[in-house]
Chain A
Amino acid sequence: MQETTTINNNFKSEEYFINMGPQHPATHGVLRLLLTIDGEIIKKVEPDLGYIHRSIEKMCERDSYQQIVHLTDRMDYLSSHINNEAVCLTVENALQLEIPERVQVIRTIIGELTRIASHCLWWGVMGMDVGALTTYFYGFRDREMINDIFEETCGARLTMNYNVPGGLMWDIHENFVKRVKDFVAHFKTKIPEYDRLLTGNVIFQKRTKGVGILTKEDAISFGVSGPVGRGSGFSCDVRKYHPYSALDKVTFNEALRTEGDTFARYSVRIQEMWESLSIIEQLIDNIPEGEFRVKTNAVIKLPKGEFYQKVETARGELGVYVISTGTKNPYRLKFRSPGFSNLSALSHMATGGKIGDLVATMATLDLVIPDIDR
């Protein structure tokens, strides 16, 4: 008996610590996860940030308001248009500019197209993370069409920089309406294809249902927003509660699921693509005539005070908080990025699951690291 005890004492059980990232296929960028695992089971997840910090908020204090718009492209690069819009809306509200209806409608249409493009990419990557590599190419095929539309209208495909305080950089291209309509018709046949390829798959459902559960209470206390929050039954769509641009002129349903698992977040995003298509359809036929830009001063000076504007990006609620002292630069500018709060819930969701669950859960958070780490 004594011998057995001594032998057992000689075997120390250690925690298996593993660095997932900053160079890892599943972290979609330079996110580093410090994992403590016991076999396949995850004991602890600690996200570590700072690998792509570019001090964007500090740079904003140096730049004029027109220049700040450029910087926001580089945050959440998959919803660059919506980021631009957030800053422009803040400035326009502070200056109390009257924005033409034409601008509002175009902004909303492009915003929804951006959302679809972002979700297409997410869908492809989601499939890839759970091991179905083919989805990636299907998602990119449809995203490509949207990028082509953007390229024609504003000259850029990713970092669009189409908004300026007071309106748009240029008017839309003459082909815009036709191509958007073509895309809507095309994409309506493709979402069912997505469902056939991935949603209905038994393995996919087994991998995602009941995995990475986030209850509504936890979702609220973690400050989660966007599709992640709505997958947990937390109704938090900024477009619904604080409509901006032309979003008060359209009717759409907020995609909401109550399960709070990975599959619920997946379904919310698929549903959101349908809703975005419906918003585009409502607006595309009657884009009002008018100016595409209001004349502003060459040097924009915001009145003294604090201004806040929030918008719904593809990942959730993006807030722009400006403190102005009446000069041409903001005294302080703070972005409330959706990804950061969403990532904070990862540890809570993934602990106790398997490594495969962590990857699937992380995929449905739809992390864009430059957005988290500004």
Chain B
Amino acid sequence: MRIPLSITDNIQEWLVSMMSESAASYVAMIIVALIYLGIFAIAGLFLVLIERRVAAWFQLRIGPNRVGFQGLLQTMADALKLVSKELTGTDRADKFLYNLAPYFVIISALMALGVMPFTKEFQAFDINIGIFFLIAISSIGVIGILLGGWASNNKFALIGAMRSGVQTISYELSVGLSLLTMILLTGSLQLSEIVEVQKGGWLIVQGHIPAIIAFMIYMIAGTAETNRAPFDMVEAESELGAGFHTEYSGMKFAYFFLAEFINMFLIAAIAATVFFGAWLSPFGITESIPWLGVFWFLAKTLVLVFLMMWFRWTFPRLRVDQLLTLEWKYLLPINLVNIVIMAFIVWQKLIIQI
């Protein structure tokens, strides 16, 4: 099976003139990996800054605006500080798992970034089971959180880790099912095809009522899956101190921290892709100038990211049992009924096409 790798292909074609074909494919893969690592780091740092500025705006403050233009270099400085810090850990921790945990979190986030259709050509690998891959990969992150909480041998961290396990397993269902509702419309799991279908209108418009319900469920469950307020049981600083990453310091802490922001970006990016047409722009601008798609994609994603920040700085935190009640007694049944409605709409061809 040949996996279509758009950027990798392009780079490989360019490299073939210089070296043998097999060497070119390896080099191309490394180059693409580095590009994505760069995107990861920049996006993570930039999102931290946005979060702090948005929080400040909600909280009658100004926020970081001194380092660089409007504080653009603030998070760079913070990252440098974290890199230079000593890595301390607990004596009784399970050293191997303790050190392994941050990589689970960060690698799962990084892999999911690879299938994101930033624009028509800018997608590291466009596999035919894109959505399924995303859901599968995003649940690997929780292993890192569980490991981190378990291995650091701290009681607060353990409670945080157990909470995270419970929470992610529950809300994964809603994320999956709400995306499945939309798959009924597209008939394909491949992300590029999901975007193609939306040339006749965003899926949230095409699927109207059930699509809007699915979007709302997706945003709730997505916020829960990234462990952000109002679902930040895992960290819950007024209850557990710092939750699962209590014992992490320096760069290991930064990995967890950055991964949280990248996960938020991913949840928003998936929503932008599945509900709001990814890189598609009005009046077909991106048809003639494809690279402009990146801006459309980022604009849609950032609006949704802002929505998630808005949740975080407005709502109080739920309690653990209420969190589970919300999922199992409300979101899941609504979701199942919603799928049936969507199936009916697709069957009766009640889709709104522009």
Chain A contact residues, CB within 8 Å of chain B: 16, 18, 24-26, 40, 127-134, 136-138, 141, 197-198, 201, 203-204, 206-207, 354-357, 359
The interface stretch among B141-149, B319-327, B331-339, B340-348 is B319-327
Task: Answer whether residue B241 sits at the interface, using C-beta atoms and an 8 A cutoff.
Answer: yes
> Known: A134-B314, A203-B315. Contact between A354 and B320, CB under 8 A?
yes
Contacts of A25 in B (CB 8 A): 237-238, 241
Contacts of A136 in B (CB 8 A): 59
Task: Answer whether residue B317 sits at the interface, using C-beta atoms and an 8 A cutoff.
Answer: yes
Which 7 A-B residue pairings sit nearest by Cβ, starting from the closest?
A: A131-B317, A137-B59, A356-B319, A132-B316, A130-B316, A26-B238, A131-B316
Please list 15 pairs of residues, one from A and one from B, whose beta carbons are closer than 8 Å in the complex, sorted by A's number: A16-B155, A25-B237, A131-B238, A134-B58, A134-B313, A134-B314, A136-B59, A137-B59, A201-B315, A206-B319, A207-B317, A207-B318, A355-B159, A356-B236, A356-B317
Q: How far is the CB of A292 from chain B (nearest CB, A)?
A: 36
* A355 and B239 within 8 A (CB): yes
Per the CB 8 Å criterion, the residue count for chain B at the interface is: 27
Contacts of B159 in A (CB 8 A): 18, 40, 355
Q: How far is the CB of B243 from chain A (nearest CB, A)?
A: 12
Task: Answer whether residue B179 sits at the interface, using C-beta atoms and an 8 A cutoff.
Answer: no
CA distance A141 to B59 in the complex (A): 10
Task: Answer whether residue B297 sits at the interface, using C-beta atoms and an 8 A cutoff.
Answer: no
CA distance A76 to B159 in the complex (A): 33
The contact of A130 among B61, B241, B317, by CB within 8 Å, is B317
Q: How far is the CB of B167 from chain A (nearest CB, A)?
A: 12
Closest to A27 in B: B238
* A137 and B321 within 8 A (CB): no
* A359 and B238 within 8 A (CB): yes
> Known: A26-B239, A134-B313. Contact between A203 and B155, CB under 8 A?
no
Interface bits B35-76 vs A (CB < 8 Å: 1, else 0): 000000000000000000001001111000000000000000
> Known: A128-B238, A359-B238. Contact between A354 and B316, CB under 8 A?
no
Q: How far is the CB of A203 from chain B (nearest CB, A)?
A: 5
Q: How far is the CB of A221 from chain B (nearest CB, A)?
A: 28
* A138 and B60 within 8 A (CB): yes
Q: How far is the CB of B157 from chain A (nearest CB, A)?
A: 11
